[in-house]
Amino acid sequence: MTQPTAACPNRMQVHSIHQETPDVWTLSLINHDFYPYRPGQYALVCIANDPDTLRAYTLSSTPGLSPFITLTVRRLEQGTGSGWLTQQVKPGDYLWLSDAQGEFTCVDAGHGEQERYLMLAAGCGVTPIMSMSRWLLAQRPDTYLQVIFNVRNPQQVIFAAEWQHLAEHYPSQLTLTLVAEFDAEPSFLAGRLTPELLKQAVPDLAQRIVMTCGPAPYMQHVAALVADAGVPATRFYKEQFQIGAESLEEDGEQLTLTIRQPLNTLRVPVGISLLAALESHKIPVNAACRAGVCGSCKTKVLSGDYTTSSTMTLTADEIAQGYVLACNCQLHGDTVLA
C-alpha cells in the first residue's frame, strides 16, 4: 500500500474495534515499527487514504503499558473522519498516522516525588486523561491523582470498566469522581462542574497540578474556576488542538461571525475554532493537518475577540496584518473576517 501523504508516514493495521458507548469506539492498531509517543499526545490520521483529508485524534493508549496503539473516536453527524473510522474501517484494514504531536502531557508537568494531580475531563476529552492516568499510576507510585469526569448521562462514560479497575487497583493513588448532567445514578454526582463541587471534592486544589481536556467552552470554564481557586498558571495545562467541525457543540452561548467577501453572517458557538465555524456552515476553507502545522488554513481577521494557540507557519508580517491559522483560532466573541 502506497503512503498517501508525507504528513502520515506510519502505517498501522487495525487489530480490533471495541464499542465504548452508544457513539464512541476504540480502534486498536498493530504497529509493526517503533512509534515513539508520550501519554496525552495526538496524531493526524489520513482519512480514507485521501492526502487532503487529515484529522487529529488523541492516542488513547499509554506508551510502555498498552499492547496496541489506540484511537478512541466519537461518531458525529456528518463527521467525515469519525464516520469513516467508526462505520467503515474494519479489522485488517490499514491506517496511516503522523508522528505523535502535542505538548499536552504529564511527563514534564510535575517535578516533585509526591506531586498531586487533578485531571478534569468532559466527553471525549477523557482520552488523553486516561492515557496520562495509566502512566502516572504505573510510573510514579508516589503521585496522587484525582480525576473528575463530566458526562451527559451515565451511559456516556468512556472506558467505564477500566476506570473501575484502576480505582480498585490503586485505591491509595487514585480518586475518581463521575459527574452526570442528567439521570445521575447513586455512584455519580449530579449536575455540572461548579465552584462548590470543586471546593468539596478537591479542598487542596490550589496545590494541585491541574490538567483538562474537553470541548473548548468546558476548558474555558475550568480555566476560570481553577484560576479563581488560586491555581498558578504555571500549574495549569489544557489541550490546545481542535479537530475542526467534528468538535462542534450544538448548545451554549452563540456569537456572530461576519465574512466581508462575499458578505455572509453566521451564528456559531462561543469557544469554537474558526475552522469548525466555517466548515459547520459549508464555507470553503483549505485545511490539511488541522493542528497548526501545515499553514493551509491561513485566514485574515479584521477584528474580533479570539485567541490563537499556534502561529508556527505565519510570518511576523502576516501576524501583524491579522492572519491566523483557522484550526488554532478559538472564537470568544463577535469576529469579522476579510
pLDDT in tens, 129-161: 999 999 999 999 999 999 999 999 999 999 999
Domains of the chain in sequence order:
10-97 (2.40.30.10), 116-238 (3.40.50.80), 244-337 (3.10.20.30)
Paired strand residues for 26: 18, 72
More confidently predicted of 188 and 310: 188
- Specify the residue for cell string 467552552: 217
Please say whether the beta carbons of 237 and 41 come within 8 A: no
| Of the candidate ranges 109-113, 250-254, 315-319, the one whose mean pLDDT is the lowest | 250-254
The predicted pLDDT at position 245 comes to 36
Percent residues over pLDDT 90 in the chain: 69
Longest dimension (CA), the chain: 60
All three cell numbers of 134: 495509566
Average pLDDT, stretch 55-69? 94
**Per-residue pLDDT for 251 more than 60?**
no
Mean pLDDT across the chain: 90
Per-residue model confidence (pLDDT) at position 120: 98
What is the pLDDT confidence band of residue 198, given thresholds at 50, 70 and 90?
very high
Q: Strand pairing of 189-190 and 174-180?
A: parallel
Tell me, what's the pLDDT at 240?
Answer: 66
For residue 120, the tally of other CB atoms under 10 A from its CB is 29
pLDDT of residue 52: 76
Please state whether beta strands 298-308 and 329-337 pair in parallel, antiparallel, or not at all (unpaired): antiparallel
Phi/psi-derived region of residue 79, left when phi > 0, alpha when psi is between -120 and 50, beta in every other case: beta
Are residues 39 and 107 in contact, defined by beta-carbon separation less than 8 angstroms? yes
67 vs 28, 44, 70, 127, 160, CA distance in Å?
A: 9, 20, 9, 16, 19
Three-class SS string for 57-108?
EEECCCCCCCCCEEEEEECCCCCHHHHHHHHCCCCCCEEEECCCECCCCCCC
Q: Which helix (H) or strand (E) holds 162?
A: helix 160-169
Instruction: Please report the pLDDT score of residue 138 as a whole number.
Output: 95
255-289 tens-digit pLDDT:
899 999 888 999 888 878 898 888 878 788 887 77
- Weakest mean pLDDT among 2-6, 139-143, 176-180, 246-250: 246-250
pLDDT attached to residue 9 = 93
Instruction: Identify residue 333 by its one-letter amino acid code.
Output: G
Q: Is 226 exposed, middle or buried (0-12, 13-18, 19+ CB in 10 A)?
A: buried
CA distance linking residue 133 with residue 147, whole number of Å: 8
Average pLDDT over residues 238-254: 53
pLDDT at residue 250 greater than cutoff 80: no
Mean pLDDT value across residues 192-206 = 94
Taking residue 181's Cβ as centre, other Cβ atoms within 10 Å add up to 16
The DSSP secondary-structure symbol of 273 reads B
The SS3 assignment for 132 reads helix
Average pLDDT over residues 195-218: 93
Least confident of 124-133, 189-198, 307-316: 307-316
Residue 309 — pLDDT band, cuts 50, 70, 90? Answer: confident
Q: Is 250 helix (H, G, I), strand (E, B) or coil?
A: coil
Per-residue pLDDT at 320:
94
Residues of the chain above pLDDT 70, percent: 95
pLDDT score of 103: 84
What nine digits make up the cell of 198? 470543586
Residue 29, helix vs strand vs coil: strand
Phi, psi of 196 (to 5 degrees): -65, -40
Q: How confident is the model at residue 222 (pLDDT cuts 50, 70, 90)?
A: very high
Confidence at residue 151, expressed as pLDDT on a 0 to 100 scale: 96
What's residue 298's pLDDT? 93
Give bridge partners of residue 298 from the DSSP assignment: 325
pLDDT tier at 102, thresholds 50, 70, 90 = confident
Report d(CA 181, CA 154) in Å as an integer: 9
The length of the chain in residues reads 338
Given a cut of 90, whether residue 174 has pLDDT beyond it is: yes
